[in-house]
Amino acid sequence: MKTNGKCIKYGDNIDTDVIIPARYLNTSDHKELAKHCMEDIDKNFIHKISKGDIMVAGNNFGCGSSREHAPVAIKASGISCVIAKSFARIFYRNSINIGLPILECSEVDKMDEKDELEIDFDKGEVFNKTKKESYKVTKFPEFMQDLINSGGLMATIKINK
């Protein structure tokens, strides 16, 4: 499994209220959630990304509430993967459950906004095409890759019925 896209970068402690503000939680429509993704920290987010871009952040990404709306909004916006130094555990689990690939990487400080990144999930590697550098990421076990490729936990259950 591979993906590539432009780096969209944020800092530490990006919480779920920043990812999708609570005032939009009255809908479960994925497209509507995507329209408001990251708007309280980056008003231009939805206009500056292209399908397949990669969100990069520091420590404790997705902290805050346990709402699944946050990874849903990110995935629906077109982001293909989130790379961070660390994730809040409930965000990590919710992301896998909905089929949003997320990777932990200690070298996110070397990645800059607009760098072109290529991720090889099988190798556990991010290649920065802009800087010609490779970074190791925590690789998913095969069963988790299968979950993500299937679109998440519920999609996997439907497939296996």
Q: Domains in the chain and their CATH numbers?
A: 2-159 (3.20.19.10)
Q: How confident is the model at residue 158 (pLDDT cuts 50, 70, 90)?
A: low
Q: Where are the beta strands (DSSP E) in the chain?
A: 2-9, 54-57, 81-84, 102-104, 116-120, 125-128, 133-136
Mean pLDDT of 16-45: 93
Amino acid at 102: I
For the segment 118-152, what is each residue's pLDDT rounded down to a tens digit? 999 989 999 999 999 999 998 888 877 877 877 77
Average pLDDT, the chain: 91
Closest by alpha carbon to 77, among 41, 18, 33? 33
Q: Provide the whole-model pTM.
A: 0.91
Instruction: Report pLDDT digits (tens) over 72-96.
Output: 999 999 999 999 999 999 999 999 8
Q: How far is CA 101 from CA 3, 8, 83, in A?
A: 10, 15, 9
Q: Which of 43, 45, 32 is closest to 72 using CA atoms?
A: 32
